[in-house]
Structure 1
Amino acid sequence: MWRLKTIRHKASRSANDLEEFKHKKREFEKALRQARRDRQLISKRLLQNEDEDSVETDSVHLSPEQVREMIRGIQCGGEEKATRLACLRKALRNPETQLAFIKSENSMHMLIGQLSGHNAQCQLEAVRALHELSHSPHPSVGQACLSAGPYLLTYLSGQSPKLTELCLYTLGNLCPDNGSCREKLLAQGIISALANCIQSQKYNLAVVEAVGFALSQLLQDKDATDKIIPAVVDSGIISDLISALNPHCDFGFGPAIECAWCLHYLVSSNLDNKVLVTQGALSQCSACLITLGGTVAKGNLEDGLELLIWPLLRCLGNLLVSEGCDVMPEDTRLLAALCVFSQAYLQPHMGLSRESLWVLNNLTASSSGFCSGLVLLNLVPILINLLSFSKGINLMVLRVLGNIAHNGPECCVRLTQAGVLSGLCATLKMAEPEVVTLSLEVLHMLVSSSPQVIEEFTRLNGVPLLEAIQYNSEAEQRVRAAYILDNHFSEVESLS
């Protein structure tokens, strides 16, 4: 999980091994979240047991007879039962051993018996064994685990945070196995159980993070809009997800990341987003982005920070364009934060830079106040510097500049004073047709606003660029270039 955490290990493990273990764990979690960010894949999660002697997580394949022998040993009871359960759990890391286990007679019955028993250590080891099984690549293994579903849901209201956390990740892993698994968990009341869990343990950030993970697994189902989202709205969990968007200085980004993805999936559905706006999703996303923008502006690109910025941007950007949403953020510091993201992540995460500009476009497309804010806060030069970058960056910048220019002559003059014409001279030379077309559109608004703009564009030798487009480009661009030349530069052409 993306959190800072004190981990107790046995003294025999060296400091280097511990650091390597934590580094691998962070990289593994980062890869999962990046996969979900890039392709919205449902991803299973495996919690590492932090008290083990070895950082190795691989296990050898056991034969069916060896598995049955382990089961019999546990059924015999005695003081070694918890130790034997721990050995079984380690063996269940092997996918083939997992299949052998579920095919063994009374295997799940034995495991559920230990789960529902009164021995706390055996109960914890049984949950860990189920957690290993839930991570299996074989859908049949997950199907076999469903018999433990009611117990896992019951323990979400228990007194042991570690047990609750394990149950949550196990349930989250079972959700994507197949439709029948989700149907059974929904019928067993998983959504209300998740809502009750996060409401009763909102100060336990590890549990909040685990609830967010389990819920996000459900919300990515293709039928979520009809079957799952209405139940989520009715459960009252949305306000808790919104409250969790604040990163904790000691714990880290994990809870906020998971809950932000949940909100993203809700916003991206056919849900009436007025529900989310009313409960503060838009204002909370904006406030969190402003805070993160301040962190990034200081040069602190902390590992994993971008994984929180992604879903927050998507939530905010989609809320701004959702039908019936007539509420806008009020804090112009959001503009500065978006510009900071577009600059800081241009090299390491160009997609995030592009997404920041997309949100900026959505803001300025429907708010003259934010258009003026970009000018007054002297943020336009940042945007102009981004015009030289391709892969959609310059297109988004041109759309934002067009939104500003659309607000009238005063904004056009201010854009010109900021140096936008030199940037347009560069984009008019580019090979991408859409970039040239958008550049001509912005240029037309600018030169229509003031004679001073025409004079400045002429001084920058922009007229020959229009003439080149008029004769060497696609039909739409030729028409646009010819119109600008005929209506605004005809005197200049005659003099030349």
Structure 2
Amino acid sequence: MDTDPGEQDVVSLFHKLQHCGPEKEAHLKALSKSLRDPSAQLTFIKQENSMHLLVGLLTGTNAQCRLQAVRCLHELSHSPHPNVTPACLPATPYLLTYLSGQSTKFTELCLYTLGNLCPDSDVVKEKLLAQGIIPALATCIENQRHNLAVVEAVGFTLSQLLQAKDAAEKIIPMVLASSLPSHLLSVLTPDPKFSLGPAIECAWCLHYLTCSNMDNRALLAYGALLQCSSLLVSLGGAVAKGDKEEGMELLVCPLLRCVGNLLSSCPVEDLSAQVRDGRLVVALCALLQAYFKTRPALARESAWVLNNLTAHSGAFCSALLILNLVPGLIQLLPFSQGINTMILRVLANIAYKKKEFCVQLAQLGLLSALCATLKMADQEMVTLSLDVLFMLVVSSTQVAEEFVRQGGLSLLEAIQYNSEGEMRRRATYLLEHHLQSHSSYCSVENIPCS
């Protein structure tokens, strides 16, 4: 049978390990290196009793052999071949048992091996759940909460489990019933000395919990919205000062999603206890400004959270106006990739809350911005612009007159005659019911907005 050198090495090392001797540790170390080759991984599991041998070394009395054995399992857990993962099943009860002790490095390797095994096989995942992986992870993070490397590894393993297709039915209820949510949240501290890696992994775990179809009241009771929004405030403040740590966006993204999802589940009467002041809108606007060019998807998520905040509460609409954050939002309306539509929704939320807010928006330059957005090819953008324009012009005669002065009638007429469906109906309604009486303010000297 033709075999490459890597496969020959694995077979040779396997036979050597079957005979106990003083070089057993060195052979295991060599085996772990050989198992980085996918073809060698297949060759190893095809050897009779290969996994039985590895489990025996994993559970033996020699600490160094145990460490090298788990390194071999870790390499196997990376395998792209679907039949390698189930072959590792005999080792999983011992990997779970070892989460409660041993050295830090040993515990880390056990965690990452388990995390790698989770997504590849439903059989393995079901076995791990039956073997108690959720309580084992909870105990591990509780005992090792000061060891950030282990906390990060727990976060990784849990996040792999939470991404399963049936996580909402089988896994998330078990997680919410455990102490894991409180431990995950304790890692998300606004303390400037916090470690980015563990926080990223724990934040993604919370994201997978909040975006499931489960009720988020349990997480709200843990103070998840308060904790995540407080950390976002801290990160937004750092970004505003130009202090963007490498990889920070990997933490900002799941935090934004957590806050956005939790807001949609939070009763209005409880919002003030969960989001205590207007600093969150400042932070969100800072993130928007910092990322709209380099990471537009992240900027769009920031605008989405702003949308959920302003739709939820007039206090945050007022905060955007009082803190003079609206002009910065208006300046971003020309940018596409979903940023402008989400920002326009935020402005629509503000306009919807009070007529006084509509007047303020007009004074801050929103009318001239709408003159530009009404010319866009994006139908969603034009429809949203018509909605916001309607709220502005019905709020005040002066606002309607100002829109006409800026050449607004010709823009609406162009939409009326060149568009179809909802856009045409809205433009016609505005012209016939709210702006026709102000047409005398329009003169041939007016120059439409570009």
Q: Aligned to 1:137, what secondary structure does the other structure show?
A: coil
Tell whether 2:374 aligns with 1:374. Answer: no
How far 1:78 sits from its partner (Å)? Answer: 3.2
Q: Which residue of 1 aligns with 2:241?
A: 298
Please report the RMSD computed on the Cα atoms of aligned residues, expressed in angstroms. Answer: 1.8
Aligned pairs for 1:25-44 within 5 A:
none
Confirm or deny: 8 A CA contact 2:412 2:427 kept in the other structure.
Answer: yes
The equivalent position to 1:317 in structure 2, one of 260, 265, 268, is 260
Change (3 A) 1:212 1:430: same
Counterpart among 335, 356, 361 of residue 307 in structure 2: 361
Instruction: For 1:247 and 1:294, locate their aligned partners in 2 and report how far apart those are by CA, in whole Å.
Output: 11
Change (3 A) 1:176 1:479: same
Contact 2:401 2:438 in 1 (8 A): no
The corresponding residue for 1:347 is 293
Once the two structures are superposed, residues 192-219 of structure 1 have per-residue CA deviations (whole angstroms, 9 ceiling, x without a partner) of 1001000111111111111011011111
Per the TM alignment, residue 384 of structure 1 is displaced from its structure 2 partner at its CA by 0.2
Residue 439 in 1 paired to residue 397 in 2?
Answer: no
Counterpart residue type for residue 91 of structure 1: S
Ranges in structure 2 where 5+ consecutive residues have no aligned partner: 443-450
Taking the TM superposition and a 5 Å limit, the aligned residue runs for 1:49-448 are 61-62=4-5, 65-246=8-189, 252-322=195-265, 327-328=270-271, 329-448=275-394
2:408 to 462, 465, 468: 462
The superposition leaves residues 310-342 of structure 1 with CA deviations (integer Å, 9 ceiling, x where unpaired) of 111111111111376753222211101111111
Deviations 1:377-398 (A, max 9, x none): 1000111011001121111111
State percent identity of aligned pairs.
62
Structure 2 counterpart of 1:486, one-letter code: E
Contact 2:268 2:313 survives alignment (8 Å): no
Give, in whole Å, the separation in 2 of the partners of 1:495 and 1:147: 83
Q: Which residue type is aligned with residue 474 of structure 1?
A: E
Map of 1:11-22 to 2, 5 A cutoff?
none
In 1, the alpha carbon distance for the partners of 2:397 and 2:202 equals: 52
CA separation of 1:324 and 1:294: change in aligned 2, threshold 3 A: closer
Measure the CA separation in 2 of the matches of 1:135 and 1:172.
10
**Equivalent position SS for 1:388:** coil
* Distance change (3 Å), C-alpha of 1:380 and 1:245: same
CA deviations 1:443-492 (Å, max 9, x no partner) are 11111111221232223222221222222222322221222222332233
Larger RCO: 1 or 2 (CA < 8 Å, sep 6+): 1
The 4+ residue runs of structure 1 with deviation greater than 4 A are 247-251, 323-326
Instruction: Give me the TM-score of the superposition, normalised by structure 1.
Output: 0.85
What are the Cα deviations for residues 30-88 of structure 1, in whole angstroms up to 9, with x where unaligned?
A: xxxxxxxxxxxxxxxxxxxxxxxxxxxxxx95465542321232233333221111100
Aligned residues: 437
Contact 1:413 1:450 in 2 (8 A): yes
> 1:87 & 1:66 partners in 2: Cα distance?
9
Any conservation in 2 of the 1:205–1:251 contact (CA below 8 Å)? no
Structure 1 residue identity aligned to 2:31: L
Letter in 2 for 1:356: S
Give ranges in structure 1 of 5+ residues lacking alignment. Answer: 1-59
Task: Choose which of 393, 399, 424 in structure 2 pairs with 1:453.
Answer: 399
Q: Secondary structure at the match of 2:212?
A: coil
The amino acid that maps onto 2:209 is L
TM-score for both structures, normalised by structure 2: 0.93
Q: Which deviates more from structure 2 when the two are superposed, residues 287-296 or residues 111-120?
A: 111-120
